[in-house]
Amino acid sequence: MYWTAAFCVFFVVFINAEGQFLPSEGIEHFQQVSCTSLCPLYWYPHNGNCYRFFGMAMSWHEAETLCNMYGGHIASISSSEENTFVYHFISPFERAWIGLNDVGKEGSFVWSDGTDETFTNWAPGQPDNANALEHCGEFYNNAAPGQWNDLPCNQDRPFMCKLHM
């Protein structure tokens, strides 16, 4: 049984104009609230989302189905910072699926979790849709670290799942 609920822990601190902490009964001036989301066991929190790496290699669609079972998708990547974070887990395996694909329409890449395609990090010459068979995105070992390639979806790769919290 897995759970995907997110909840927040609120820390409320009361300080006066000089930055001195006040007892709660002396509230008059300012309050500061921080919120921390928690991830299910074995999932890593990062910038409000949860991530889990799966080292067993499988096809892109099998990987997406497994991520769906947890309530997520193969990881989308919307910034250089997120790319570095995800690649940190994947780099020992050299190649791994990402959620980007053009399964629906050749050349129109979309993220399986619906994230807007605002950031891309294709390796030089990619995506090339080699032999008209490449519709799924991966981290590529024949490129600079963290760059992407399009690949036939039936290849087997490890992958990162992402839960939007």
CB 22 within 8 Å of CB 14: yes
Minimal distance in Å, beta carbon 55 to Ca ion?
Answer: 23
Residues 6+ apart with CB under 8 A from 44: 50, 51, 52
Q: Considering beta carbons, is residue 52 or 157 the nearer one to Ca ion? A: 157
Least Å distance between CB 102 and Ca ion? 4
CB of 133 to Ca ion, least distance (A): 8
Q: Which residue number, 82 or 134, has a Cβ lying nearer to Ca ion?
A: 134
Q: Evaluate whether 28 touches 22 at the Cβ level (below 8 Å).
A: yes
**Residue 134 and residue 99 in contact, taking contact as beta carbons nearer than 8 Å:** no
Name which of 70 and 111 has its Cβ closer to Ca ion: 111
Complex with Ca ion: residue 135 or 162, whichever CB lies closer: 135
Binding site for Ca ion (CB under 5 A): 102, 126, 128-130, 134-135, 149-150
Q: From residue 12, how far is each of 9, 45, 78, 149 by CA, in Å?
A: 10, 22, 31, 46
Q: How far is the CB of 47 from Ca ion (least distance, A)?
A: 29
Shortest distance (Å) from residue 152 CB to Ca ion: 9
Give CA separation, 27 vs 16, 23, 33, 46, 63, in Å: 8, 7, 14, 33, 51
Maximum CA extent, the chain: 71
Q: Which is nearer to Ca ion, 79 or 108 (CB)?
A: 108
